Amino acid sequence: MFPDEELMVEKTFMQMRAEASSDREDKDNYDTTDLRPAPSLNYVSSMLIADGLLALCCVNASPAIITDPATGKVVQASGRHPVTRLMEIARGWLDWELYRETVRTEVCLETLSGLSGNCHDTIAASAITALSSLAILRQSTSDPDAPVGDKGANENLHQVSTSQFYVNIFDSEPQRNDLTKAACAQAIVSICCAADRFEKESVQPVGLLTALEFFLDRIIGKLLVVCI
């Protein structure tokens, strides 16, 4: 639902209730005392989606290993990685929730209500956590020398395997809510630290230092501006 759809549903319900009240004299048996506006219902399906996305962090899968009939060597099977489809789904949810978050922020700026987005859904944060976890799993279980069977997916999902993808979300304007930014910060650390294992032995592991530099630049840098 769009951020303003809930208000539209409640407005429609109240209008229907007002019409029912005007006809109460003709409808003695119509009782509206037990009716509640739709937005006050306790069931929240978004929590189920968020939990489902977080569950993807527990997935452990790798491509099949086969014997090459030509050489007799044991090689990794070509084709789509088992988690590719899960990454596409998580990316779809992330794009949709970031759009909804942007709309909510724009509405908040227009009304100047001063309310942040932390009271809204956690799907975006869960999708970011799931994407970074699946990206690391996909990269660590794929043989770089094996033939690529999902080139299209590689091109579309390569950016979620880089820290810059999450940095762009963290630095986007208007600012994201705290839950989304915290998930991006966690993903940046995970991606930077995981990148060390893919570097050559001659390269010093500086993934954690790179992540700390990012945090210090964003946090301490803003504090210095405020103090000045």
Which three-class secondary structure state does DSSP give residue 67? strand
Which three-class secondary structure state does DSSP give residue 224? helix
Which three-class secondary structure state does DSSP give residue 191? helix
The one-letter amino acid code at 208 reads L
Q: How confident is the model at residue 147 (pLDDT cuts 50, 70, 90)?
A: low
Residue 86 has pLDDT above 80, yes or no: yes
The H-or-E segment that residue 159 falls in is none
Question: Angle, nearest 10°, between helix axes 207-227 and 178-195?
Answer: 140
How far, in Å, CA of 131 to CA of 109, rounded?
30
Q: Check residues 218 and 28 and name the one with the higher pLDDT.
A: 218
Q: Where are the domains of the chain?
A: 76-144+151-228
Tokens of 44: 């929240």
Q: Check residues 32 and 183 and name the one with the higher pLDDT.
A: 183
How far, in Å, CA of 197 to CA of 169, rounded?
25
Residue 59 has pLDDT above 50, yes or no: yes
Residue 38 has pLDDT above 60, yes or no: no
| pTM, to two decimals | 0.69
Q: How confident is the model at residue 35 (pLDDT cuts 50, 70, 90)?
A: low
